[in-house]
Amino acid sequence: MRVALTVNGNRAEVDVEPRTSLADCLRDRLRLTGTHLGCEHGVCGACTVILDGAAVRSCLMLAVQAEGSHVVTVEGLSQEDGLTPLQTAFKKHHALQCGFCTPGMLTTAHALLTEEPDADADRIRSVLSGNLCRCTGYIPIVEAVLEARAAYRAAPASPHPNPPPPAGEGGPHIAPPTENPPPQAGKGRVGASGRGRVRAEAEKP
């Protein structure tokens, strides 16, 4: 089946099996391997991406369900001229060790702070409790997200990060990969300006 979606501001059309998860589509078809797969059962949060502004677990979604959607992966949260405020805060507070959970932590925190830039420590802990980390003990992650709040307060959210050009006006396109395509580095950029929403499934006790 052919799926058309926008990933990190770039249009993509991908041929997938009906059973292909969004995570596998992003990693294996579009070579955006920043989205990690841990449990593949919706438990660990490592696969979290932002779909139409909401943090979702891409291992629980079929790629075909993302037809017509705007997806932002951790690559799309990067910028070319240095670290974003959220990344800077993670670095400052040593909020990662092995880094396996980090893509999901960053996408979840970005979605949260975009919608709730005044989130307090309890709210941050509650939302991030749906993302498992085996290394840090969570304290530095919460401290990093708390520090990053100032940047989100200062940058009003826009409805869609990196809106794609209207249909028919060209713009970047992620072609379906051929055999053994080279890895693609970050596509597009969002910075701290995208609107986010944290869905209930990311708020497990």
Q: Using CB under 6 A, which of the segments 38-46, 108-116, 170-178, 182-190 binds ligand FES?
A: 38-46
Q: Is residue 43 within the footprint of ligand FES (CB under 6 A)? A: yes
Size of the site for ligand FES (CB under 6 A): 22
Please enumerate in sequence order all residues whose Cβ is within 8 A of that of 52, keeping only pairs 6 or more positions apart, or say none.
69, 70
- In whole angstroms, the minimum distance from the beta carbon of 52 to ligand FES comes to 18
Q: Using CB under 6 A, which of the segments 68-76, 112-120, 129-137, 149-157 binds ligand FES?
A: 129-137
Q: Is residue 133 within the footprint of ligand FES (CB under 6 A)? A: yes
Please enumerate in sequence order all residues whose Cβ is within 8 A of that of 205, keeping only pairs 6 or more positions apart, or say none.
129
Q: Which of 46, 61, 190, 198 binds ligand FES (CB under 6 A)?
A: 46
Residue 118 neighbours by CB distance under 10 Å: 9
Nearest of 139, 146, 131 to residue 59 by alpha carbon: 131
Q: Is residue 175 within the footprint of ligand FES (CB under 6 A)? A: no
**Residue closer to ligand FES (CB basis): 100 or 152:** 100
Can you say whether the dihedral through the CA atoms of 189, 121, 199, 155 is positive or negative?
A: negative
Q: Which of 51, 74, 101, 106 binds ligand FES (CB under 6 A)?
A: 101
Q: Is residue 129 within the footprint of ligand FES (CB under 6 A)? A: no
Residue 37 neighbours by CB distance under 10 Å: 17
Q: Using CB under 6 A, which of the segments 84-92, 94-102, 148-156, 164-172 binds ligand FES?
A: 94-102
> Is the Cβ–Cβ distance between 168 and 85 less than 8 Å?
no
Q: Which amino acid is at 91?
A: K
How far is CA 16 from each of CA 121, 184, 192, rounded to the nearest angstrom?
40, 18, 31
Q: Which of 11, 28, 31, 42 binds ligand FES (CB under 6 A)?
A: 42
How does strand 10-15 pair with strand 2-7?
A: antiparallel
Q: Using CB under 6 A, which of the segments 11-19, 75-83, 95-103, 171-179 binds ligand FES?
A: 95-103
Which stretches of the chain bind ligand FES, using CB under 6 A?
A: 37-40, 42-47, 57, 59, 96-101, 133-136
